Amino acid sequence: MIKAGIIGGAGYTAGELLRILLRHPQVKIDFVYSTSQPGKPVAGIHQDLLGETDLNFTDKINLEVDVVFLCLGHGNSIKFLKENEFSEETRVIDLSTDFRISAKDHSFVYGLPEFRRDEIKQAKHIANPGCFATAISLAILPLAAENLIEDEVHVNAVTGATGAGTSLSETTHFSWRDNNFSAYKAFEHQHLGEIDQSLKMLQKEKEFGINFIPNRGNFSRGIHATAYTSFSGSIEHAMDIYQKYYEDAAFTFVTEEDVHLKQVVNTNKCLLRLQRLGNKLLITSVIDNLLKGASGQAVQNMNLMFGFPEKEGLNLKANYF
């Protein structure tokens, strides 16, 4: 049994972490840190946990826990870790953007299990991937691994309202989101850097661009992404490439059948559909942005780091109806 701490406990990702970890047979939650809610019941904020836990938020930190999850706003994790020195034995899993790009001044491993499983198993510090980056990278990595990206990759993806977090803004109010749809940050979304970094670690010999248009959907959670690029092989060749790449993946599955969000929401799965259309390969990728795109993947990384079964605590059923 390991002890876990959560920093920034009042947001959506922390709520999902709590839901998973409270039922994880190998984990005891030691503290849930929040500067805005100290002393208040966790179930008062995360109301789905009423009757599930008597934990209270705290403004005290145990620096000796076995693992700590950082659920802080982007740019705050670096500052927090400078001000709070955890034990040498404490594993750190950061869910912000702060450490996702490789650099000489930090020791964080990019935590996409389908891509860097062996490194994750040995890591003490993990940079959990972004939600769009997870959906899009999983759609394209098998092609890069075979050096088969010959042309630009075009991506269109839509995310639910929870992708914006709990802080209100003009575009997160119900009256704005309801019956509405919009694009934002076209060709310059912050997740592009980590996607590009992963792909170019695999395909080093050929240059290519990623044209990414993110969209806001009028639903709560999930990401539906479509990516296409030139491909000269057959659909059978593509299926063989993808199935071999993901043959040991715990949560990523490849199909030629239609995929949709209800298959993955409330789970840690990524479903990939392949289609050969003209001289293009179209890959559709669907995930839950709060689970495979955030908290579920963080627990998957934790399981790998501590030698637990990879699916431990993550056998979740989709809310299909």
- Coil, helix or strand for 39? coil
Encode pLDDT of 251-309 as tens digits: 999 999 999 999 999 999 999 999 999 999 999 999 999 999 999 999 999 999 999 99
Encode pLDDT of 117-127 as tens digits: 999 999 999 99
- Give the chain's domain count: 2
Instruction: Give one DSSP letter per residue of 198-252, joined into a string.
Output: HHHHH--SS---EEEEEEE-SSSS-EEEEEEEE--S-HHHHHHHHHHHTTT-SSE
Alpha helices in the chain (DSSP H): 12-21, 42-45, 76-83, 113-122, 131-145, 174-177, 192-202, 235-245, 295-306
The question of whether 131 is a catalytic residue gets the answer yes
Angle at 87 between CA 85 and CA 89, to 5 degrees: 140
Catalytic hit among 6, 72, 120, 131: 131
pTM score, two decimals?
A: 0.94
pLDDT per residue, tens digit, the chain (321 aa), is 999 999 999 999 999 999 999 999 999 999 999 988 999 999 999 999 999 999 999 999 999 999 999 999 888 999 999 999 999 999 999 999 999 998 767 899 999 999 999 999 999 999 999 999 999 999 999 999 999 999 999 999 999 987 655 555 666 666 666 778 888 888 887 889 999 999 999 998 788 899 999 999 998 899 999 999 999 999 999 999 999 999 999 999 999 999 999 999 999 999 999 999 999 999 999 999 999 999 999 999 999 999 999 999 999 999 887
For residues 163 and 298, membership in a common domain is answered with: no
- Domain encompassing residue 256: 131-287
C-alpha–C-alpha distance, residues 230 and 148, integer Å: 9
For residues 206 and 62, membership in a common domain is answered with: no
**Residue 296, phi then psi, degrees to nearest 5:** -65, -45
Q: Which residues on neighbouring strands pair with residue 210, listed in sequence order?
A: 153
Encode pLDDT of 116-152 as tens digits: 999 999 999 999 999 999 999 999 999 999 999 999 9
For residues 61 and 184, membership in a common domain is answered with: no
Considering the domain boundaries, does residue 311 fall inside one?
Answer: no
- Coil, helix or strand for 159? strand
For residues 85 and 111, membership in a common domain is answered with: yes
Q: Smallest Cα–Cα separation from 132: which of 79, 185, 88?
A: 185
C-alpha–C-alpha distance, residues 78 and 32, integer Å: 19
For residues 48 and 150, membership in a common domain is answered with: no
For residues 101 and 146, membership in a common domain is answered with: no
